[in-house]
Structure 1
Amino acid sequence: MRTAVSANPLQLDVRSHRKCLIICFFLTMGTFQYGLDYALVGGFLSMPGFLKVYGYYSPTLKKWNIDPTVQQLISSLMTIGTFVSSLLVGPLSSKFGRRHGLWFAAGLNAISTAIMLSTTSVAALYVARLILGVSVGWFFTFSQLYVQEAAPAHLRGVVFGFYQVMLSVGSIVGASVDFGTHNILSRRSYQIPLSIFFVAPTIQTIMIIFFPESPRWLMVQGEEEKAEKALRRLRNDNIDEHEFQAELNEIRGSTRDQLEQNKKWLFLEMWRGTNLRRTLLCLSVVCFHAANGSSWVNIYTTYFLTIAGVDNAFAMSVMITCIGLLGCLFSLAFTRYVDRRVVIIIGCSACALCQLFMAVVWTVHPGSKVAGKCVVAFISLFTFFYVAYSPTAWLVGGEIPNNQLRPFTYGIATALNFVGNWLGTFTAPYFINPAKLGWSAKYGYIWFGTNSLLVLFTIFFLPETRDRTLEEMHEMFENKVPTHKFKSYVCTGVEDYAAQGVAKADVMVERTPFQLEKEEMEHVEVRENETKGQPK
């Protein structure tokens, strides 16, 4: 049943939007690479076959180890690449669109993977990791921009669940393949897992050929007819014309308003007027992922468990990534029915407690088997809750900016998040590596504090956006609606646009096919004359 405050004119079910959901599923496949990389590289750092090439044998530890600096660079250069690529999303997306960005990402992925498979030079490995980071950043950001703008308002949460499913499946595949090859003492131990980097981008590249460009991006470019065709291709063929015209007119009318308000220098417009609030909120909520400690838990899980003396660290890593997938599937069940703010508050609170309990146990019983088991339990719970709420934070970050500024704002927000992740992965070895501070699980004290701050920020500053169209969000920010009134606010302007679309549909339905064909021919003739500078 439609809520009283929503201006979403579409049927609020799942079945009526199967076509769009399938398209969004394939568009999110690129995020498989992000999860795959985190799991694979974390495993490589504990593989004798990898450490023989890029590490050293430690007589003190009586096993293969890796220099902390090399460890930092291998892990963090990919993140630096994602930072650079995310900054470029705004200008590239404005010129080339979402689909071409994903094709660029696939090309760079192939180049970087080929280098990593063939080289034994640590310098070449560094270069490949940087290029891979650029690729992953574009996969990550362009796909999210597309699904934000393509999915119906009430299903955006479900679509972002697809993104997290892909990421979690990538992590499971990476951890599982590492587990299967980690005892191989040759280079094949890491070459076999690396070859998986070719799979998802190849499938996605082929499928994108058959999918339309984002209708909202086309509308921003002034290509209104192409935007209409793209939107129609995203909706089921049997969609009611009244619903379709109402949604189309919402997008058209609101986008025209946005284009009139923003000047030429879009990067500056992000920080002016009502856009400033939207920009700051977007940057903040997207950076939640870097501030809750997920970076060190994700990428160093296997290494951390090995150092902590946990038996079967590789098997435990696979189990933890599987628990993450369960968290993602769990989130799909409630994301349509639970407010965004509630999901984020519960998720950040649970992550804070997991980090705290893990640190306390290790403080009381450092290095014991009981402490090791508790660490595995709390890392598993942390992963479950983080993966369950993580898509919601990305989702809200993409919903807040307007159609024209979204790639710029979201790109910068993603870049800052990757900087935060880089700081987490770069500094973690100093805390957990026995050759440095050797804090092990006590590192969780720091992340307990940051997660607590995220909960407070959500309570006081983050507005509720569930089931709102992107055009509704624009109207509420333009009208300076207070944070705690977003949920009940009625968007009269967007409703007027939808009503005009319905009226247009009524006229279209009453016309005969001959009249429609004649009007279409006249419309085309007028556009051709205008192009020639001879208005009719």
Structure 2
Amino acid sequence: MAGGAAILANPLKLDISSHRKCVFICFVVTVSSFQYGLDYSLVGGFMAMPGFLKEFGYFDHKANKWAIDPTVQQLISSLMTIGTFVGSLLVGPFSSKFGRRYGLWTASLINFVATGIMIGTTSIGALYFARFILGISVGWFLTFAQVYINEVAPAHLRGIIFAIYQTQLSTGSIVGAAVDRATHLNPGPSAYRIPLAVFFVAPTIQSIALFFFPESPRWLMTQGQLEAAEASLRSLRNKNIDETEFQAELNEIRISTQEQHEQHKGKHLWVEMWKGTELRRTLLSIAIICFHAANGSSWVNIYTTYFLTTAGVTNPFSYSIMVTCMGVIGVIASSFVVRHLDRRHIVLIGVAGCGLCQLSFAVAWTVAPASQAAAKCVVAFICIFTFFYVAYAPYAWLLGGEYPNNHLRAHTYGVATALNFLGNWLGVFTAPYFINPSALGWNAKYGYIWFGSNAILFVFTWFFIPETRDRTLEEIHEMFQARVPARKFKGYICTNTRAMAEAARKEQGVEAVHMEDIDFKVSGE
């Protein structure tokens, strides 16, 4: 049934103050994204550090300065991305058996090993290996954190919490750029070893905090741990929550998860995600998450300092910090409107802005190559690009996690994240061929390619991306099962999901929704 305006099945109070505890838990879990932003910023800065180049580069006698071979540059940057690809593919099987929290703990352990190797080695081979396993860690941090947040956050606050997630990523980039700037003139290995030590901070904080946080109630429900799921959900909600309100949410999750279990019982989840109505959900999740790779952010983010140097911009490290700060401003700005503006609209505005910025600095470099005017234009439009990209990026991650059902979320999200990192790797690996003066030397003209890709993203969003603002995961599941067209999601009335929540609102029904006598278990692995 569809109507002009959606009637939501979310039984919770649609405010922030009633969910402070859950918001705090999600805030700590989003520390995972700090690592990703930190890596992009730190390693990009290493490419312009004499102390790093003396260890892993060569002295260019013609230019009378230290330089780095394009192949080494590619491998240092891209092996981390390959690691994230491999790690993300492992998220589904690991998560199905061990849950979300153990995934984050394992990511921390791998991070500690990789960072120790990078700090201690002077071997380029060992550095390559450390970059690869660090990528596995980063991939697990990002994917497990986002799956966890999608499953524990109240529907109406998922947008704000993902804005916090992106803020943590941008904060990591700022910290990385600032530390690089502080140490880049050090003549020896301390120029890059001191920044690398920052990799230990965020995982240590999160690993300790996770001992006090519950597992995802939706994951526990898929495992048949019904009492544990109820206890988990209760620990995520404030103590003074209305019991009828709590039981309504629990009932909605329980019934929907049980229906999903019956649908996939005895089947392999890797196969199920490509069949029936799940195929559409899988493809949409992959598509929207891969927007991050398809808009040109990978080459702009990791090569900002190097790119500004070759563009003739003076004091590139300071400008790199300014660029990152523009991203923080962008996500903060979007966090004020995400509860009031449809997610599709935010994505449309974001990809349009990114595409126009790529086009603008490409045109500027075409008209006046290597000039100070063009260099200033490059700085300006990279800043604006970063604003638009970071403003919409968290909601692309959010939508990608909302589309799959509870049983397939980790598998689908892992594959989507892996393919996004594969796209990032392609962008990072090929960028030096375009921007490095010893190769094609296109510099900012590389933006022409990414203007075209952003135009495709705009058209795809307009026709195929459904609107899910303020919808519970169970409502989204119902709409996909009903094969609702993308343009009708916003006004669709989820009668079945509303009935689940309403069943627990009846005064005599509150006790009836307890689940001691219900037994179901996933056996689809």
Matched position secondary structure for 1:183: coil
Give yes or no for contact 2:104–2:140 (8 Å, CA) kept in 1.
yes
Note if contact 2:312-2:375 (Cα within 8 Å) is conserved in structure 1. Answer: yes
2:353 aligns with 350
For residue 262 of structure 1, report the CA deviation from its aligned partner: 1.3
8 Å Cα contact 2:313/2:376 also seen in 1: yes
- TM-score, normalised to structure 2, is 0.96
Residue in 2 that maps onto 1:16: 18
Aligned to 2:447: 444
Question: Is the aligned partner of 1:308 residue 2:306?
Answer: no
Q: Secondary structure at the match of 2:63?
A: coil
Q: Which moved more, 1:4-13 or 1:352-361?
A: 4-13
The verdict on how the C-alpha distance between 1:107 and 1:507 changes in structure 2, with shifts beyond 3 A counting, is closer
Structure 1 367/407 Cα, relative in aligned 2: closer, same or farther at 3 Å? same
1:131 aligns with 2:124: no
Structure 2 unpaired stretches of 5+: 520-525
Q: What residue in structure 1 maps to residue 468 of structure 2?
A: 465
* Other structure's SS at 1:502 match: coil
Confirm or deny: 8 A CA contact 1:32 1:169 kept in the other structure.
yes
The residue aligned with 1:189 is 191
SS at match of 1:409: helix
1:216 equivalent in structure 2: 218
Determine the structure 1 residue equivalent to 2:61.
Answer: 59
Residue in 1 aligned with 2:230?
228
Corresponding residue pairs, total: 514
The alpha carbon displacement at 1:503 in A equals 2.4
Q: Please give the alpha-carbon distance, in whole angstroms, between the structure 1 residues aligned to 2:79 and 2:87.
A: 12
> In the alignment, is the contact (CA less than 8 A) between 1:241 and 1:505 conserved in 2?
no
Q: What SS does structure 1 have at the residue aligned with 2:258?
A: helix
With 85-94 and 498-507 compared, the bigger mean Cα shift is at 498-507
CA positional deviation for 1:183: 0.5
Which of the numbers 45, 49, 52 marks the counterpart of 2:51? 49
* Cα distance in 1, alignment partners of residues 425 and 236 from structure 2: 36
Residues 450 and 281 of structure 1: is their aligned pair in 2 closer, same or farther, counting only changes over 3 Å? same
Question: Which residue of 2 is the match for residue 82 of structure 1?
Answer: 84
Residue 527 of structure 1: how far off its partner (Å): 9.8
Equivalence for 2:483: 480
Runs (4+) of structure 1 exceeding 4 A deviation are 504-509
CA distance in 2, matches of 1:133, 1:506: 49
CA distance in 2 between counterparts of 1:61 and 1:157 reads: 49
1:411-426 paired onto structure 2 within 5 Å: 411-426=414-429
**Range with bigger deviation, 458-467 or 4-13:** 4-13
Contact 1:242 1:506 in 2 (8 A): no
Letter in structure 2 aligned against 1:347: G
Q: Which of 233, 251, 254 pairs up with 2:253?
A: 251
Alignment-derived partner of residue 514 in structure 1: none
C-alpha distance in 1 between matches for 2:313 and 2:253: 54
SS in 2 for 1:209: helix
Alignment of 1:377-456 (within 5 A): 377-456=380-459
Per the TM alignment, residue 483 of structure 1 is displaced from its structure 2 partner at its CA by 1.0
Counterpart amino acid of residue 49 in structure 1: G
C-alpha displacement of 1:506: 5.4
Give the drift of 1:504.
6.1
Partner amino acid, structure 2, of 1:268? V
Instruction: Give me the identity figure in percent.
Output: 64
Instruction: Report the alpha carbon displacement of residue 332 of structure 1 after superposing the two structures with TM.
Output: 1.1
Query: Deviation per CA, 1:84-138, whole angstroms, max 9, x where unpaired?
Result: 0000000000000000000000000000000001000000000000010000000
Structure 1 residue 236, shift from structure 2 partner: 0.5
Higher Rg of the two aligned structures: 1
Partner of 2:288: 285
Matching of residues 260-279 of structure 1 within 5 Å: 260-263=262-265, 264-279=267-282
Paired position in structure 1 for 2:41: 39
Read off the aligned partner of 2:11 and give its amino acid letter: P
Distance 1:473 1:46, change over 3 A: same
User: Counterparts of 1:391 and 1:95 in 2: how far apart (Å)?
Assistant: 27
Of stretches 378-387 and 54-63 in structure 1, the one that deviates more from structure 2 is 54-63
Contact preservation (8 Å) 2:364, 2:374: yes
Change (3 A) 1:508 1:252: closer
Counterpart Cα distance in 2 of 1:133 and 1:233: 32
AA partner of residue 312 (structure 1): N
* Displacement of 1:374: 0.4
Residues 299-339 of structure 1, C-alpha deviations (whole Å, 9 max, x = no match)? 00000000111000000001111111111111111111110
Q: Distance in 2 between matches of 1:157 and 1:507?
A: 30
1:5 CA displacement:
1.8
Relative to structure 1, is the Cα distance of residues 52 and 92 closer, same or farther in structure 2, using a 3 angstrom cutoff?
Answer: same
Residues 504 and 250 of structure 1, relative CA distance in 2, 3 Å threshold: farther
- Aligned-CA RMSD value: 1.5
Report the TM-score when normalising by structure 1. Answer: 0.94
User: Is 1:337 aligned to residue 353 of structure 2?
Assistant: no
Partners of 1:504 and 1:202 in 2: how far apart?
A: 46
Query: What residue number does 1:318 align with?
Result: 321
Partner in structure 2 of residue 512 of structure 1: none
Give the Cα–Cα distance (whole angstroms) in 1 for the partners of residues 449 and 8 of structure 2: 40
Contact 1:242 1:505 (C-alpha < 8 Å) held by counterparts: no
- Is 1:83–1:416's contact at 8 Å kept on the other side of the alignment? yes
